Copies of this chain bind each other. A is one copy, B any other.
Amino acid sequence: MPIAPDVVLADGVAIPHPSLVNLYGCRIGPDTKVGTFVEIQRGVEIGARCKISSHSFLCEGVTIEDEVFVGHGVMFINDRHPRAAKDGRLQTAEDWTMETTRICRGASVGSGAVILCGVTVGAGALVGAGAVVTEDVPPGTTVAGVPARTMLRRIAGAS
């Protein structure tokens, strides 16, 4: 079941290849488009009129506000110190602390970017392709690089 029965899709959601995604326990807002080879985990909330592009991974703890562009191959994270096992058994949800991430209205995350956990990307901000975002991005700001640094600050703020 690549789209699990507990996924809530608003009117107008477009998923061109429903057999080539893996969505479960998430909510997707009106007119949002989800590309191929995308995984969206339990608890993720995505707003209206977003584009979630191919090959991206949105983990539990991620909130995407309205009109956000998520490029291709974007990776979100919710565990600052990931480990496979603890005390000789696979880790479970009890063994780690989930940190949340928010991408605010109208922001764009370029392809190949990695967004560390516990950060907020402000409204209208632009994360450059291939950037690794390790801290909050102010609204209307363009960041790029590894780790991501400010390239441009728009006077008018978020679009």
Contact = CB atoms under 8 A, between A and B. Distances in A.
A54 interface: yes
Contacts of A33: 90
Determine chain A's interface SS by DSSP, over half rule.
Answer: loop
Contact of A57 (B73, B75, B108, B147): B73
A102 interface: no
Residues of A in contact with B, size category: 35 or more
Nearest to A64: B84
B129 A108 contact: no
A130 B129 CA distance: 12
Contact of A49 (B72, B88, B111, B129): B88
28 contacts: A17-B22, A20-B20, A22-B36, A22-B37, A22-B54, A39-B55, A49-B85, A49-B90, A50-B84, A50-B85, A54-B57, A55-B75, A57-B72, A57-B73, A67-B83, A71-B77, A75-B111, A75-B129, A75-B130, A77-B129, A81-B108, A83-B108, A84-B106, A84-B108, A112-B132, A114-B130, A129-B132, A130-B132
